[in-house]
């Protein structure tokens, strides 16, 4: 499914998938990825997660008789398996306007065996809306969906880190989408023992996703190792996130009257969304062993020197088939 966005004025959203790793000259024969072998203080696969709808609702006005209503709902997950959804009371527009928003992981207590997956959406549905008398003073939809997962590898070598985004965005350019951020990340760190802080190994390298006619799937080969030269274990962290904040209004603030909504049809019907309940934005990322490779720098490769580690990080964008 291709990512589309209609009636936009920003032209582009960016999905950043970052991949960072420490390089050693070794192969990748029979490599395996371990999602659950950590010291006691790092035992949880899901180091942190947040599935939350911070705001869904607003202030609503019927200019005939000046009937005013205000409602906003919020909800957050209390467990990794929770599916968070909210729908506010939009009275006095309740029969002609509905607002739905949601946030979740896989909807179960487990992630995919090779990575992470999250979903989120926000939509406004107009049904017989009279935009000559019905005003939306301010309708805001804000949601945060993210999760982190830690892993180790038992064999130094190349691995493939990939991210894929599915879903659709349809939001009119005359209304405000103040922020949309979609990220997948991968980084490494050293565990210095109980009670000690983690030491980050690398800076992130990013892959950009152009969601307007671009490819919503990206991947990179990363070279990983199980421990440092001094024998300290290396852990890796995969992160994934969708965040958005919208604000919709059809109120003429100077005159206190409703203004026409140009995407409604002649019967006052219309639908705008950042993903929908039946077709949400869905972001997945995975780490899988790659074929054995010799880490020889290629044109366009990014090389980073880590202070004090006397090693190089090597990243390469994987060629499209």
Q: Each residue of 129-166: pLDDT tens digit?
A: 999 999 999 999 999 999 988 888 998 888 988 999 99
pTM: predicted TM-score of the whole model, two decimal places:
0.80
Q: Please give the span between the terminal C-alpha atoms of the chain, in angstroms, as a whole number.
A: 18
Q: Is 309 exposed, middle or buried (0-12, 13-18, 19+ CB in 10 A)?
A: middle
Beta carbons of 239 and 150 less than 8 angstroms apart: no
Strand partners, 153: 33
DSSP state of 56: E
CA 204 to chain centre: 17
Stronger pLDDT, 221 or 211, i.e. the higher one: 221
pLDDT digits (tens, 9 = 90+) for 96-142: 999 999 999 999 988 899 999 999 999 999 999 999 999 999 999 99
DSSP state of 222: E
Query: Parallel, antiparallel, or unpaired for β 270-274 and 176-190?
Result: unpaired
CA 316 to chain centre: 23
Beta carbons of 213 and 140 less than 8 angstroms apart: no
């Amino acid at each position: 499914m291709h990512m589309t966005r209609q009636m936009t004025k920003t032209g582009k959203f960016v999905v950043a998938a970052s991949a960072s790793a420490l390089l050693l000259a070794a192969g990748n024969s029979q490599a395996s990825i371990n999602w659950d072998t950590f010291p006691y203080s790092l035992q949880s696969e899901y180091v942190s997660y947040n599935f939350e709808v911070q705001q869904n609702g607003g202030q609503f006005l019927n200019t005939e008789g000046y009937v005013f209503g205000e409602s906003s709902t919020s909800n957050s997950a209390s467990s990794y398996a929770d599916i968070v959804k909210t729908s506010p009371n939009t009275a006095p527009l309740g029969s002609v306007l509905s607002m739905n928003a949601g946030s979740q992981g896989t909807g179960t207590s487990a992630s995919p065996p090779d990575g992470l997956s999250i979903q989120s959406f926000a939509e406004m549905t107009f049904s017989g809306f009279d935009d000559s008398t019905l005003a939306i003073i301010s309708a805001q939809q804000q949601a945060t969906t993210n999760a982190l997962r830690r892993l180790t590898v038992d064999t130094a070598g190349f691995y493939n880190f990939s991210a894929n985004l599915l879903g659709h965005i349809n939001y009119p350019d005359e209304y405000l989408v103040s922020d949309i951020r979609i990220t997948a990340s991968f980084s490494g760190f050293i565990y210095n023992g109980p009670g000690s802080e983690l030491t980050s190994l690398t800076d992130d390298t990013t892959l950009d996703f152009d969601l307007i006619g671009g490819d919503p799937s990206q991947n990179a080969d990363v070279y990983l190792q199980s421990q440092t030269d001094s024998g300290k274990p290396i852990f890796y962290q995969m992160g994934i996130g969708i965040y958005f904040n919208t604000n919709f209004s059809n109120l003429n603030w100077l005159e206190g009257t409703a203004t026409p909504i140009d995407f409604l049809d002649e019967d006052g019907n219309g639908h705008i969304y950042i993903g929908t309940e039946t077709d949400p934005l869905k972001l997945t990322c995975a780490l899988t062993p790659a074929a054995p490779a010799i880490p020889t720098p290629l044109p366009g490769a990014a090389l980073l020197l880590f202070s004090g580690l006397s090693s190089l990080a090597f990243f390469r964008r994987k060629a499209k088939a």
